[in-house]
Amino acid sequence: MPIMSVIKNTSIGNTLCAKVPYEDFNIGSQLIVAEYEEALFMKDGVIEEVFGPGKYTLTTENYPFLTKFVSTLVSGGTSAYSCKVYYINKSHHLELKWGTGTPIRVIDPVWGIEVHVQARGAYSVNVKDGKKFFLKFVGANANAVEQDIIKNFRSAFIQHITDGLAEYLVSKQDEVLVTCNKKKQLADDMLPVLNNILDEYGMELINFYIESIEVPEDDPCMTRIRELRIQRQEKMFEREQLGADERLRYNLRRESSEADRYVSGQMAQADYERMTIRDQDGNNGWARQEYADTIKMAAGNNGTGGAFVGAGMGLAMGNALGNMVGAMMNGGEGGGPLGTGMAAGAGAASAKQICPKCNGVVPAGAKFCVNCGSPMEQKKEVCAACGAELIPGMKFCGQCGAPVAAVRTCKVCGAELAPGQAFCGSCGTRYED
C-alpha cells in the first residue's frame, strides 16, 4: 500500500461519514478539511484528534500525539505513521422523506366517528458533534449515508409523529378535515420532540415539514361524515329560511299596524277639526250636523223590513227629530230630557274658544292661545276725536269724519307701539310691517 502525503476527502455529497482508503502517511503530510467537514484521527480504536476546517501540516512538532503513531515505515527516507482518518460531513442534508405506513385511527371531535388519517413529509438534519456522531451512529460501519438516517430513525420518528398527530387532531375540538389543513403548527410542535431523538446521536433536526395530512377518499367513515355534514347544512338552511320568513311576517305585521294607527290618527284628527270648525259659532253645529245626517238616513230607510215601515211611523219620527232640532236651536229650553242633554252639550262646547289666528281650541277664559301664543281678544281701535269704535282699515271715523291716525300695535300681545318703535315694550317682539 502506498504512503500518502496529502490527505483529503474524495467521497460523494450525500455521504455523512467517509473513511480515507489509506492508513499510512508521511510525517509532514498535508491535511485538507473543507468548511463543511471535520476530520477524525483514530489509532487503535481511539480518536486522538478532531480537525476542523483548514489546511494542516502534520508533524510531530506541531502535533505531539503523532510521535506514538510513528513506526518503522520509511518513504523516501522520511519516517511515516499509520492511522485511520474519517471525514464527517456537517452540511445540511435536506428532503429526507417520512410517512405513516398505516393509517392513524382518530376519533373525530365533532362527529364522534372514527376516521383514518395518513400523513407524509420531509425533514433536514446536520451533524452537530462529529465525534459523538461517529461513536454512536457510525461505529464499526466506517461509512454512513443519508439513507442510513432514514432507515435507523424511521420507527422512532413515526412513533412520535403518530402520537403527536393524533393528540393534535383531537385537541383542536374541530372537524378532522378542518384541522388537517393546519399543518404548520403541528410541524412546529414536532420539531423539538424529534430533535431530542437526534441529539443523542450528535445530530440536529434543522427543519421538519408536513406535506399532507389526509383521509383516504374510500374511507367509509369519511363517507358517513360527509352525509352528516350535508344534513347539517340542510337543517341550517331551513332554520335560516324559517327565521327569514318569520322576520318578514313580523315586519309586515308591524308595518300594517303602523299604517292602521296612522290612518286612525288621521281620521280622528279630521273628525276633531270638523267638529272644531262646526262649533266655532258656539251653537253646537257638529251635533246639529249629526242629527241632520240621522234624519236623512231615517227618511231614506223606507225599504221592506226596515225599522221605519209605514208612513205614520216615519211622520212620527220626523216630528220627534224636528222637535229635538228646534230645542237645540233654542238653546235647549223645553223639549224634555233630550233637549236638556243637547243644551248641556252646547254649553260644554261653548266652554271652549277658538283662536282667531290658528283656529286652535283654547280653554275658556284663556287670554292667549296655547298653540301659537296669540292674544284671544284683539285690541279694538277707537276714534281719537269722538271715541267711536273703528272698523279695521278705515281711514276716517264713521261718526265724526275725523282722520284716523295710523296706530301700530304688537301682533303678539296687542300693545300699542309708539311711532318709530322697533320692538314691543310688553313682550319684546320685533315689529314688522
pTM above 0.85, yes or no: no
More confident residue, 276 or 209: 209
Per-residue pLDDT tens over the stretch 259-270 = 888 888 888 887
Cα–Cα nearest to 354, from 284, 272, 287, 281: 281
Cα separation values, 238 from 233, 242, 243, Å: 9, 6, 8
CATH number for the region 93-216 comes to 3.30.479.30
More confident residue, 37 or 334: 37
Share of the chain above pLDDT 70, in %: 78
The strand pair at 24-33 and 4-7 is best described as parallel
The strand pair at 15-19 and 84-89 is best described as antiparallel
Contact yes or no for 173/164 (Cβ under 8 A): no
| Domain range annotation of the chain | 4-89, 93-216, 368-433
E strands, 297-430, where?
352-354, 361-363, 408-409, 416-417
| Res. 429: pLDDT tops 80 | yes
**pLDDT for the residue numbered 312:** 46
| Res. 217: pLDDT tops 50 | yes
Helices and strands in the chain: count of H runs, count of E runs: 8, 18
**pLDDT for the residue numbered 89:** 93
Q: Given pLDDT bands bounded at 50, 70 and 90, which one contains residue 121?
A: very high
Per-residue pLDDT tens over the stretch 15-45 = 999 999 888 888 888 999 999 999 999 988 8
| Res. 382: pLDDT tops 70 | yes
Dihedral angle sign, alpha carbons of residues 168, 174, 179, 185: negative
Give whichever of 60-64, 366-370, 404-408 has the largest mean pLDDT: 60-64
On average, the pLDDT of the chain sits at: 78
Q: What is the mean pLDDT of residues 401-411?
A: 75
**pLDDT for the residue numbered 307:** 46
Residue 165 CB neighbour total at 10 angstroms: 24
**pLDDT for the residue numbered 131:** 93
E strands, 256-398, where?
352-354, 361-363
| Res. 322: pLDDT tops 90 | no
- Give the DSSP letter string of 219-233: -HHHHHHHHHHHHHH
Cα–Cα nearest to 24, from 46, 3, 7: 3
Q: Given pLDDT bands bounded at 50, 70 and 90, which one contains residue 95?
A: confident
Terminal-residue alpha carbon distance, the chain? 135
Cα–Cα dist 43/40, whole Å: 10
Q: What is the mean pLDDT of residues 73-85?
A: 72
Question: Which residues face 75 on adjacent strands?
Answer: 78
Q: Which three cell numbers stand for residue 227?
A: 352525509
Least confident of 5-14, 226-235, 352-361: 352-361
Contact yes or no for 55/5 (Cβ under 8 A): no
Cα–Cα dist 313/292, whole Å: 18
Per-residue pLDDT tens over the stretch 151-201 = 888 888 888 888 888 888 888 778 887 888 888 888 888 888 899 999 999
DSSP H or E segment with residue 107: strand 104-107
Q: What is the mean pLDDT of residues 123-132?
A: 92
